[in-house]
Amino acid sequence: MRDKVEIIVFVIVLSFFGLGYLFFGQREFSELENHYLSLCPEFSWESFLDGDYTKKFDEYTADQILGKDVFVKMNVAMNRSCGISEINDVYFGKEDRLIQDYQKPDSVLDENLTYIRRFAEENPETDMTMLIIPNSSQIYPELLPTFARTYDQAEVIRRIRSGLGNSVAVLDATDILLAHKEEAIYYKTDHHWTTLGAYYGYTELCEGLGLTPVAREEYDILTLSDPFYGSLYSKAPAFRQEGDTLDLYYNPAGAYEVQYPSESRTADSMYDMNYAGRKDKYAIFFGGNVPLARITSNSSNTEKVLILKDSYANCLVPMLADHYSEIHMMDLRYYHEDVGDYMKENGIKTVIFIHNVDFISTDNNFLWL
């Protein structure tokens, strides 16, 4: 009798998921996991015999399984109930905060510093400044789970300063963020700083550049109505995780035009409101990470600036745009042409690096400098 019950249960489960593949269609993108899903591969005898079809079919069945989002959350809940405090390099911190892990960087950091220093030496007439931003684990170590340890990012920033020497002026956002740590300067579900955190980083950058920042009271602040669940939640989704709020800062005195050469389009705002109703709301800033964006404003300062950046810069640049009539924002993960030639062609004599500590420690694209 027991064997029959097990067979019946097995057939029911198999039929349930099998019918799911047949009748519920395919999802191209998972909002929960924030990545594109594998689709059903096209069959051919050649791909079947060389094993490529089987591999892709396994990926398809894993990605398209009926109820996958629920199973992912159940797996997280099960691990947490067993006392596991870290999943996919994400800690379940105190006060309902998800915290990105950060460990001692390897040789990639030194290689990146070499590329940056060489780039500065090849462009001796260009003023270069770097704003370096710590992860939330450096600001909120007391919120890490018991016995969790992350590497000291202050030591890495000292290493960055030493490695760049006099070639690039390094500004550290740590102190100003620590001074405002009781405010909402980092998201609880995402690895980025909030727009408020970026504002404090912007004031630090302005001080280093000799600029007068726009006072926070002068901005019109729009808070999106839907909660924001960010990248850390995608890696470690929990059933009862509270979402974040996302703010947009508008300067009423500003006027802007943004050109996206890779997409052959122009916009009159640095905010892409198409993302306001999506899970990945952080992509509302410039529509996400793009190879190159040219931002012109009604600023009286005609100096041309190149910003080399990671995604932490996306919510800071709209503030910096009030200080330069022309900003060229470049992401080396996607822009693989000669940067020095681009600077010469566009008459750029000022470069600003805006990078998170983790990015400069691990990214492999500084070689494009």
Cβ contacts of 33 within 8 Å, gap of 6 or more: 72, 234
Q: What is the pLDDT of residue 85?
A: 82
Q: Which two tokens stand for residue 228?
A: 């924001």
Residue 5's identity, in one-letter code, is: V
Q: What is the pLDDT of residue 10?
A: 46
Residues linked to residue 297 through DSSP beta bridges, in sequence order: 256
Q: Please give the chain's pLDDT, 369 residues, in tens.
A: 555 645 554 445 444 444 444 445 555 555 555 656 666 667 677 666 666 766 765 665 555 555 556 656 666 667 676 777 888 899 999 999 999 999 999 999 999 999 999 999 999 999 999 999 999 999 999 999 998 999 999 999 999 999 999 999 999 999 999 999 999 999 999 999 999 999 999 999 999 999 999 999 999 999 999 999 999 998 988 878 899 999 999 999 999 999 999 999 999 999 999 999 888 899 999 999 999 999 999 999 999 999 999 999 999 999 999 999 999 999 999 999 999 999 999 999 999 999 999 999 999 999 999
Q: What is the pLDDT of residue 336?
A: 96
Contact 312, 131 (CB under 8 A): no
Q: What is the pLDDT of residue 38?
A: 62
- To which residue do tokens 């919120």 refer? 143
| Chain mean position to CA 44 | 38
Contact 98, 85 (CB under 8 A): no
Spans of all domains in the chain = 2-66, 98-368
CA distances (Å), origin 49, targets 110, 210, 334: 45, 65, 35
Contact 282, 248 (CB under 8 A): no
CA pair distance 306, 159, nearest whole angstrom: 24
DSSP H/E element including 321: none
Nearest residue to 288 via CA among 264, 256, 269, 315? 315
